[in-house]
Amino acid sequence: MTVVGTLRKAVARWRDEGLVTLIRAALSRSRDRVKRRRLRRKYRYVSDDGMISVDPERITHFLVEGRHPATRYRVEKGLVTKHELIKAYFPVGFFRGAVLPGEWDRHGKAYHFDRVYRGIRNHYVEGVEWERTEYGHQMLLLDDLYDYSYFDRRISQCESLYRSLNRDGYEPAPRPERNVGVNVGRDGTLIFNNKDGHNRLALARVLGIDRIPVVVVVRHARWQALREEIAAAETIDELGDRARRHLDHPDVRSLHEFNRADRSADSALDRLERFVDRSIAR
């Protein structure tokens, strides 16, 4: 957008919403820019604006809060209970493309325990009424606590998306940040980022959709090192055993053009590993 266009937009917003709202929005954008610069000084980032295509069944875990500052920024005193860890996420606008070391990828929970997925599966596969699912019950509790139509709104959105996916197939959300986001752990585990796409991911699994586009938000430093090893190799002989085992991983397929025949054994092993992972997840 040109400078003139930006000024016109600002003037229009001033007229519609007032000067105070305009100033608050400007301050918020300024704070965001400062935070992005600070994070980029602290962590390594790789240029990655695209999306990758994955089998939704390969997204085997979702992120829960750990000790890494980025995954516990929502925690307040008194909210960490002994019974269940709170879902966590990396804000896409700040962390997309980040390469993070540490133990954050160890703090995940098997996706089949996800409340949204269980509720959607209970309803569409097992025929349980929404009100009797854990997910529906949670929405009803929120209605009581906040006097807001969480249940009606969320269930309506879910059923509308279900009809759309059944009728038209899976289409990416118009805005990249509204799509299913994943983080990639040190061993290539795809970890749901929890920010957006809850219904999309759960319904894709329930409907048996074999491929969906996802946004990669954060990668573990050890996984990124493996990606760079694969990208730099000119022949498959230059790769270590670990890299060879992951040549069919959706986050590295675009990095190489090795002959499929040269890695048939590794591909078979990778398929076996995926089968074992799915069996455990179920």
pLDDT in tens, 54-112: 999 999 999 988 777 666 544 444 555 555 667 888 988 888 999 999 999 998 899 99
User: Cα separation of 222 and 214, whole Å?
Assistant: 21
Q: How buried is residue 71: exposed, middle or buried, by Cβ count under 10 Å (0-12/13-18/19+)?
A: buried
Sorting pLDDT into bands at 50, 70 and 90, what band is 43? Answer: confident
Other CB atoms closer than 10 Å to residue 235's CB: what's the count? 9
Inter-CA distances, 188 with 13, 26, 139, 231, 273, Å: 45, 39, 33, 16, 12
pLDDT of residue 170: 92
Q: Residue ranges per domain, the chain?
A: 3-42, 49-281
pTM above 0.85, yes or no: no
Sorting pLDDT into bands at 50, 70 and 90, what band is 221? Answer: very high
User: Cα separation of 162 and 139, whole Å?
Assistant: 18
pLDDT of residue 84: 64
Q: Which two tokens stand for residue 190?
A: 């795809």
Inter-CA distances, 227 with 94, 99, 222, Å: 22, 12, 9
pLDDT of residue 149: 87
pLDDT of residue 261: 47
Residue 129 makes CB contacts below 8 A (sequence gap 6+) with 123, 136
CB burial of 269-282 (b: ≥16 within 10 Å; e: otherwise) equals ebeeebeebeeeee
pLDDT in tens, 9-32: 656 665 666 666 656 666 666 676
The residue written with tokens 């930006």 in the block is 6
- C-alpha 35, offset from chain centre: 21
Mean pLDDT over each residue of the chain, to the nearest integer: 82
Sorting pLDDT into bands at 50, 70 and 90, what band is 161? Answer: very high
